[in-house]
Amino acid sequence: MAKKKDIAIDYSSDWNFAPAPESTAHIKLKKKYDLFIDGKFVKPKSGKYFETINPATEEKLADVAEANKADVDAAVKAARKAYDNEWSKLSGKERGKYIYRIARLIQEKAREFAVIESLDGGKPIRESRDIDIPLAAAHFFYYAGWADKLEYAFPNRKPQSLGVAGQITPWNFPMLMAAWKIAPALAAGNTVVLKPAETTPLTALKLAEIIQEAGLPDGVVNIVTGYGETGSHIVNHKDVDKIAFTGSTGVGKIIMKAIAGTNKKSTMELGGKAANIIFEDAPIDQAVEGIINGIFFNQGHVCCAGSRLYIQESVYDIVMRKLKDRMQALVVGDPMDKNTDIGAINSKKQLKVIEDYIKIGKKEGATVYQPKCAMPKKGYWVPPTLFTDVAQSNRISQEEIFGPVLAIQTFRTVSEVLAKANNTPFGLSAGVWTDKGSKIFNMTTKLNAGIVWANTFNKFDPASPFGGYKESGHGREGGLHGLEPYLKFDA
Amino acid sequence: MIEKDYSLSPRVDKMGIDDRVARIKARSIKKEAKVQGLKMILNMIDLTTLEGADTDGKVRQMCYKAIHPHDSLPDLPTTAAVCVYPTFVKTAVKAVKGSGVKVASVATAFPSGHSSRKIKLMDTKIAVDNGADEVDMVISRGRFHSGDYNFIFDEIAAIKEACGKARLKVILETGELGTYDKVRRASDIAMDAGADFIKTSTGKISPAATLPVTLVMLEAIKDHYYATGRMVGMKPAGGISNSKLALQYLVMVKETLGGKWLTNEWFRFGASSLANDVLMQLEKQASGNYQAKEYFSID
């Protein structure tokens, strides 16, 4: 028998997965995408186009129109006209029918959406196929059901639509975030001008095709592509009644300054630095799986990622051993391979951000761990990364990295971990792992986070509201709460 | 030495187990990985007959199948073992002689386990004296539910001693244990008491083997290995009748315990109909077409 300290499990094997690439043959991407305004694809008045690339290969996928002020004007005008003349006059039941139709069409074309999402954004096909796209459809189904029941959702408050909603979505869940924003806006009776992120515009443009196919009245949904400047034209447009933004805290602050003093309502879903807390009485093997899902889901490009791990000191060694063992089984590489667990980093820019933080962590004296994994030569990649010997005062445990990088600390008592978990400007999500029910309830009432998961992590459902406190933003998306920001009330 | 309190065995969360299993099931096993995996599966099967109606003739026919699963396909391995009642061990030993196929015998008042220690030991001794290479015992589930963990431990240890050189597989009958916590507890007791393998089921109770229950047991094996340095084998039994599911079990072993466990020394399938489904898939991989089940012998 081996000596105890020499015991290790060898995860290499003579039996290895053969490549299992998802076919891309059925995907018909256009060479050039125009703006979707007033029910039609129209050339941008700016005359400008930008490239969107596949981050796994650095190859160009398509040229996409860049909307300038005049283009955004046209989109808002179309949305206003559609609101005044058609959408606000339709009954909730009729609006619901259109939303159901969108939901069904997404389901019908789910495979196409999933492949495009993974090509454009670098996320593993397993995630886009099993999570992003089915959840996007589920959001449309969910809010379709509310469209004719607003009076019941908000009894005696006379809910009324706002008008034109300006929506800006991020690059980490392009299709899902479009669904989170468009579905409640339409259900509540508003029309929409949406700007997808510049690195991942293709699924939103595919959604525009579906909206055409669903026969929505022209102008009810408009999709304008572009960079931050395009977004600022939406934010500053006088005829926009509401801004819904998901993205970085920095940009969120700029938007809030810009709309201060106007009548625009807002929801901000911003950054996070979630504490994932493992108590000694936790189901350890499943907690390890929760750590993996918490930080490596979507390459860590998740605002609610469990990026700060707190392990009770008495189980620190065993959790670390199990975590490192589990990481040996993670497959990093081609997002189109069905066995890939961790795909490509979304953009060159984000790659730089993550690499810089890894350098910062090392400089701060933290110990870095990365399993050996062969990375493709082209494209943007970061191996799953752990930092131990981390303190609360390290930048890697304070700032949002938005990559597959986990900062690990230990704790000793409940009060200590609560204080540390809440010791952050963010407040989006948190996770608690314990077999003891009373401890869960104690923690969930005291953690300052919009979402707290118990014995699981990164679970989403259309019926469950999502949103944060403090620098993680305000307002909720999902559930009944997600309708409220798209309505005004008499009482 | 402080006596170990098995009621403190690690806890298992069902939602988390289900999540992990879902990830494992999403693995895509294609082409050469599939062919290699299918051959491994065939080589890990304990071809089993445990019927009241078993006869020497039936057992001999099954033994031939274990050695010659499908002679029209070249380079096929044999199954790992044949698994029979103690009364048929002699017949089986004679039938598989020289083939490398092992003979496993159930024992200890299989399947209920309701009998005296004396009879269980004798049952085991008969199987071993008749030449069984492996003994598949059942634990006393009634005593386990009563919390009499010392009894369970002592019984397994006694049977292990009676096994001599034969390897001992301990059947937990997970379908009767009720929770994953209890599966984990029973696994820990069995391994500490000397089990060479832990096994899910008798095949007489539904549910038999499932992926989640197997994962719980594999994690227990991993913890036992880290604690003691001793490898323990795993045998899911019953309810695994198709290749796709069996491949998912292999993925689970690979990702939980690594390549060292991916041989029939450390992993077995207790199954009877699985072999023919594997053969059908191998034939498909070789010829490109599925053949009707009439082309595969049913011993």
Tens digit of each residue's pLDDT (9 = 90 or more) over A402-430: 999 999 999 999 999 999 999 999 999 99
Q: Is residue B2 part of a domain?
A: no
> Which domains, from first to last, does chain A contain?
32-270+470-489 (3.40.605.10), 275-454 (3.40.309.10)
Q: What are the phi and psi torsion angles at A223 (to 5°)?
A: -125, 115
Facing A286 at nearest CB: one of B16, B40, B222: B16
pLDDT at A4: 64
Q: What are the phi and psi torsion angles at B258 (to 5°)?
A: 85, 180
> Mean of the pLDDT values across residues A336-363?
98
User: With an 8 Å Cβ cutoff, are A285 and B31 in contact?
Assistant: no
Within an 8 Å CB–CB cutoff, is residue A317 touching chain B? no
Tokens of B188: 């820990």
Within an 8 Å CB–CB cutoff, is residue A11 touching chain B? yes
Q: Is residue B149 part of a domain?
A: yes
Q: Is residue B86 part of a domain?
A: yes
Nearest CA in chain A to B29: A17
Q: Residue by residue, what is the 3-state secondary structure of B124-135?
A: HHHHHHCCCCEE
Q: Is residue B63 part of a domain?
A: yes
Tokens of A236: 């500053």
| Interface A:B, Cβ pairs < 8 A | 99
Facing B33 at nearest CB: one of A17, A328, A329: A17
pLDDT per residue, tens digit, chain B (299 aa), is 568 999 999 999 999 999 999 999 999 999 999 999 999 999 999 999 999 999 999 999 999 999 999 999 999 999 999 999 999 999 999 999 999 999 999 999 999 999 999 999 999 999 999 999 999 999 999 999 999 999 999 999 999 999 999 999 999 999 999 999 999 999 999 999 999 999 999 999 999 999 999 999 999 999 999 999 999 999 999 999 999 999 999 999 999 999 999 999 999 999 989 999 999 999 999 999 999 999 999 88
- Least Cα separation, residue A12 to chain B (angstroms): 6
Determine which of A3, A7, A15, A440 to mutate to test the interface with B (most B C-beta atoms within 10 Å).
A15
User: With an 8 Å Cβ cutoff, are B222 and A9 in contact?
Assistant: yes
Which of A137, A158, A453 is closest to B13 using CA atoms? A453
Q: What is the CA radius of gyration of chain A?
A: 23
Facing A455 at nearest CB: one of B10, B15, B257: B15
Within an 8 Å CB–CB cutoff, is residue A130 touching chain B? yes
Active site residue B136: yes
User: With an 8 Å Cβ cutoff, are B40 and A15 in contact?
Assistant: yes
Q: CA-CA distance, A200 to A198, in Å (whole number)?
A: 6
Instruction: For residue B183, give Cα distances in angstroms to B8, B113, B124, B206.
Output: 13, 17, 24, 15
- Least Cα separation, residue B69 to chain A (angstroms): 22
- Say what the pTM is: 0.96
Instruction: Find all residues with CB under 8 Å of A250, minimum gap 6, and list them.
Output: none
Q: Is residue B73 part of a domain?
A: yes
| Helix/strand/coil for B47 | strand
pLDDT at A3: 59
Q: CA-CA distance, A370 to A382, in Å (whole number)?
A: 10
Within an 8 Å CB–CB cutoff, is residue A437 touching chain B? no
Model pLDDT for residues B144-191, shown as the tens digit of each residue: 999 999 999 999 999 999 999 999 999 999 999 999 999 999 999 999
Within an 8 Å CB–CB cutoff, is residue A281 touching chain B? yes
Residues of A in contact with B255 (CB under 8 A): 11, 329
Nearest CA in chain B to A130: B26
Query: Domain limits at B242?
Result: 9-295
Model pLDDT for residues A254-298, shown as the tens digit of each residue: 999 999 999 999 999 999 999 999 999 999 999 999 999 999 999
- Which H/E stretch holds residue B103? strand B102-107
Q: Predicted ipTM? A: 0.95
Q: Is residue B173 part of a domain?
A: yes
Which residues of B lie closer than 8 Å to A, measured between beta carbons? 10-13, 15-17, 19-20, 26-34, 36-37, 40, 219, 222, 225-230, 250, 254-255, 257-260, 262
Facing B37 at nearest CB: one of A1, A15, A126: A15
| Active-site residue, from B136, B196, B277, B299 | B136
- Least Cα separation, residue A482 to chain B (angstroms): 27
Residue A354 confidence class, pLDDT cut points 50, 70, 90:
very high
Share of chain A above pLDDT 70, in %: 99
pLDDT at A272: 97
pLDDT at A105: 98
| Active-site residue, from B65, B199, B277, B299 | B199
Model pLDDT for residues A376-403, shown as the tens digit of each residue: 999 999 999 999 999 999 999 999 999 9
Q: CA-CA distance, A218 to A456, in Å (whole number)?
A: 42
User: With an 8 Å Cβ cutoff, are A11 and B31 in contact?
Assistant: no
Q: Residue by residue, what is the 3-state secondary structure of chain A?
A: CCCHHHCCCCCCCCCCCCCCECCCCCCCCCCEECEEECCEEECCCCCCEEEEEECCCCEEEEEEECCCHHHHHHHHHHHHHHHHHCHHHCCHHHHHHHHHHHHHHHHHCHHHHHHHHHHHHCCCHHHHHHHHHHHHHHHHHHHHHHCCCHHHHCCCCCEEECCEEEEECCCCCHHHHHHHHHHHHHHCCCEEEEECCCCCCHHHHHHHHHHHHCCCCCCCEEECCCCHHHHHHHHCCCCCCEEEEECCHHHHHHHHHHHCCCCCEEEEECCCCCEEEECCCCCHHHHHHHHHHHHHHHHHCCCCCCCEEEEEHHHHHHHHHHHHHHHHCCCECCCCECCCCECCCCCHHHHHHHHHHHHHHHHCCCEEECCCCCCCCCCCCCCCEEEECCCCCCHHHCCCCCCCEEEEEEECCHHHHHHHHHCCCCCCEEEEECCCHHHHHHHHHHCCCCEEEECCCCCCCCCCCECCCHHHEECCECCHHHCHHHEEECC
Facing B16 at nearest CB: one of A2, A3, A456: A456
Facing A130 at nearest CB: one of B17, B26, B34: B26
Residue A490 confidence class, pLDDT cut points 50, 70, 90:
confident
Catalytic residues of A, by residue number, are 269, 303
Tokens of A103: 């939901």
> Mean of the pLDDT values across residues A341-365?
98
pLDDT at A374: 86
User: With an 8 Å Cβ cutoff, are A18 and B32 in contact?
Assistant: yes
- Least Cα separation, residue B220 to chain A (angstroms): 10
The tally of CA atoms less than 13 A away on the side-chain side of residue A2 is 13
Instruction: Find all residues with CB under 8 Å of B248, minimum gap 6, and list them.
Output: B24, B25, B27, B211
Q: What are A167's strand-pairing partners?
A: A194, A244
Nearest CA in chain A to B255: A329
User: With an 8 Å Cβ cutoff, are B30 and A18 in contact?
Assistant: yes
User: Residue B285 sits in a domain of what CATH number?
Assistant: 3.20.20.70
Residues of A in contact with B228 (CB under 8 A): 1
Model pLDDT for residues A63-79, shown as the tens digit of each residue: 999 999 999 999 999 99
User: With an 8 Å Cβ cutoff, are A289 and B20 in contact?
Assistant: yes
- Least Cα separation, residue A215 to chain B (angstroms): 36
Structural domains in chain B (count): 1
User: With an 8 Å Cβ cutoff, are A17 and B258 in contact?
Assistant: no
User: With an 8 Å Cβ cutoff, are B16 and A283 in contact?
Assistant: yes
Tokens of B251: 């993925």
Within an 8 Å CB–CB cutoff, is residue A2 touching chain B? yes
- Least Cα separation, residue A405 to chain B (angstroms): 21
Q: Is residue B160 part of a domain?
A: yes
pLDDT at A99: 98
User: With an 8 Å Cβ cutoff, are B28 and A10 in contact?
Assistant: no
Nearest CA in chain A to B256: A326
Residue A310 confidence class, pLDDT cut points 50, 70, 90:
very high
Q: Is the pLDDT assigned to residue A1 strictly greater than 60?
A: no
- Least Cα separation, residue B28 to chain A (angstroms): 6
Q: Is residue B4 part of a domain?
A: no
